[in-house]
Amino acid sequence: MSLISPNAPTAELQALDAAHHMHPFTHGADLAQKGARVITRASGVWLTDSEGERILDGMAGLWCVNIGYGRKELAAAAARQMEELPYYNTFFQTTHVPAIQLSARLAELAPGDLNHVFYASSGSEANDTNIRLVRTYWAEKGQPERQTIISRWNGYHGSSLGSMSLGGMKGMHAQGGAVPGIHHIDQPHWWAEGGDMSPEEFGLERARQLEQAIEEIGPEKVGAFIAEPIQGAGGVIVPPATYWPEIQRIVKKYGILLIADEVICGFGRTGNWFGSQTMGITPDIMTIAKGLSSGYQPIGGSLLSDEVANVISGTEFNHGYTYSGHPVACAVALENLRILDEEGIVARVAQETGPYLREKWQALADHPLVGEAQIEGFMGSIALTPDKSARAAFASDAGTVGYICRERCFANNLVMRHVGDRMIISPPLVLSFDEIDTLIERAVKSLDECHARLKAEGLM
Ligand code: PMP
C-alpha cells in the first residue's frame, strides 16, 4: 500500500485528487485544471489549507458546523462510544443508550408535541423517509389516495432521488428526472420575482398558490406540504412576513401535513432552536440533520408529532437504514446539543452576536453592487445587481457575477458562497464580534474588487 504523505506538496495532492476523487456538485474537468484547495485542519471558525493560509469559514462547512471546529469534547464522546459500543442497530427489538438519550433530548428541545424521532444519516435520507412516512400515514388513516406532496421550485431537500424530487432545483431534475407524485409551486422570493407587488402582497400571492394547487389536484389526493422555513441553498430567501401565516392557515384548512425542513434552520441557525419557531409555524414533521451534530458525525432524522407517530406506530413501518440511530453519531450529537445549550450559543445568536451581525450585514445594502441584504440569525444573503432601484438582474448568465464575487472572497480568505448572483453566509454560531468585523471587512473588499472588475469589463 502506498499512501501519499499528508505533507506532500499541494500540487501532488491536487493531482491525485483530480485523478481519483469525484467532487459533488462540481464540473470535474474544470476543477482538475485548477486544483482543489486542500483543507488540512480547522479550529473555531478558521480553516487552514495546505499552504498554511487561514480562511474564515463564512459557511460553517456546508451550513453545519454550528459549534465551530476543533471541539475536543465531541472527539472524546466519539472515542468513548466507539470503545463501548461502536455499532448496533435498533431494527430487531433492541435499542441502545445513546439513541434513547438523544431521542428524549430532541423531544425536549423540539417545539409542540414533536416528541418522536426516526433516524437517518443525512438530510436527504430523512426527507426520503418523510415521503414514505406521509404516504404510510395516510394509508393507515384509510386515505391511501393522499399521495401527492407539494413543495416549491428552488427549494432544496437533498440529493437522493426522492429528496431531490421534493426539491425544486431544475438543474437537478434535468439530470435523470424526478419521481412522480410531487407537485411544485413557486417560491416566495420577492426580490427576484415580486414584480410591482409589495412584499406583503407577494407573500400572500405565493402562499395562495398552495391553496390553488390543492384545489387543482383535489384535496383528497394531497398528503403534505414541505418547505424550508427559510430557503437555504436556494439563496437564503427570507419570505415576506405574510407568507407563513397564510401557509399555516391553508394546511390547517385542508388537513394536510406540514413538513418543515429544518436541516439548515435547525439548532440555532436563526437564533431559536428551530426555524419553525422563528417563523411562527407548527409543523407535523421536521427534517433535521447538519447542526444536530455540528457536522462532526453524519446524522439526521425526522421529528414526528404525537399524532403522526401514533398512526405510524400502529403498523410495521418497513423502512430503516443500517445507520439509523448510529450510537457514535448519537453520542456526538448529544454532546453537541449539550455544548450549544450550556454555553448559551443559541441565546447569544439571538441576543448578542446575531443583532450585531444583522446591523453590519444590512449595511452592505449601501454598496453599489448590492440590492437587498437579508439576514435572520446567522444566515444571510445579498443580491448583486447592476441597478438597485429596478431590482435588475445582470445581462450575463445568472451566476457569472456571483462566481466572480465568490472567487474574490476565496482569494481574500473568506468562504462565502454564491447562488446565482446572490451571495450567502451561514457562519459557525460561535463567530465572535471581532470575527464578524473581519468577515464584513473581507466581504466589502471582495465586493469592491468584484465591482471594479465588472466595470472594467463593461458588465455594469
Ligand atoms: N434539506 C435542506 C434544507 C438542506 O439544506 C440539505 C443540504 N444542504 C438537505 C436537506 C440535504 O441534506 P444532506 O446533504 O445531509 O443529505
Q: Looking at ligand 1, which atom is closest to the CA of residue 127?
A: 10
Q: What distance in angstroms lies between residue 275's CA and the mean position of ligand 1's atoms? A: 15
Q: What distance in angstroms lies between residue 157's CA and the mean position of ligand 1's atoms? A: 5
Please indicate, yes or no, whether residues 411 and 326 belong to a single structural domain of this protein.
Answer: no
Using CA positions, which residue lies closest to atom 7 of ligand 1? 158
Q: What is the pTM of this model?
A: 0.98
Its domain, for residue 353, covers: 37-67+346-456
Residue 23 lies in a domain: no
Q: What distance in angstroms lies between residue 453's CA and the mean position of ligand 1's atoms? A: 34
From 125, 152, 263, 419, mutation site for ligand 1 pocket: most ligand atoms within 8 A of C-beta: 263
Residue 29 lies in a domain: no
Residues with CB under 6 A from ligand 1: 62, 122-124, 127, 156-159, 228, 232-233, 261, 263-264, 289, 300
The CATH number of whichever domain residue 443 belongs to comes to 3.90.1150.10
Please indicate, yes or no, whether residues 98 and 163 belong to a single structural domain of this protein.
Answer: yes
Residue 1 lies in a domain: no
Residue 116 lies in a domain: yes
Q: Looking at ligand 1, which atom is closest to the CA of residue 231?
A: 3
Indicate the residue among 342, 357, 377 that finishes a domain. Answer: 342
Count up the domains in the chain and report the number.
2
Indicate the residue among 316, 342, 368 that finishes a domain. Answer: 342
The CATH number of whichever domain residue 141 belongs to comes to 3.40.640.10
pLDDT, one tens digit for every residue, the chain (460 residues): 789 999 999 999 999 999 999 999 999 999 999 999 999 999 999 999 999 999 999 999 999 999 999 999 999 999 999 999 999 999 999 999 999 999 999 999 999 999 999 999 999 999 999 999 999 999 999 999 999 999 999 999 999 999 999 999 999 999 999 999 999 999 999 999 999 999 999 999 999 999 999 999 999 999 999 999 999 999 999 999 999 999 999 999 999 999 999 999 999 999 999 999 999 999 999 999 999 999 999 999 999 999 999 999 999 999 999 999 999 999 999 999 999 999 999 999 999 999 999 999 999 999 999 999 999 999 999 999 999 999 999 999 999 999 999 999 999 999 999 999 999 999 999 999 999 999 999 999 999 999 999 999 988 8
Residue 28 lies in a domain: no
Please indicate, yes or no, whether residues 53 and 198 belong to a single structural domain of this protein.
Answer: no
Please indicate, yes or no, whether residues 102 and 227 belong to a single structural domain of this protein.
Answer: yes
Residue 6 lies in a domain: no
Residue 271 lies in a domain: yes
| Range 405-441 burial, b when 16+ CB lie within 10 A, else e | bbebbeebbbbbbbbbbbbbbbbbbbbeeebbebbbe
Helix or strand (DSSP H, E) at 127: helix 123-140
Kindly give, in sequence order, each residue whose CB lies less than 8 Å from that of residue 444, ignoring residues fewer than 6 positions away. 364, 367
Residue 7 lies in a domain: no
Please indicate, yes or no, whether residues 173 and 258 belong to a single structural domain of this protein.
Answer: yes
Indicate the residue among 342, 376, 407 that finishes a domain. Answer: 342
Please indicate, yes or no, whether residues 116 and 141 belong to a single structural domain of this protein.
Answer: yes
Report ipTM for this prediction.
0.99
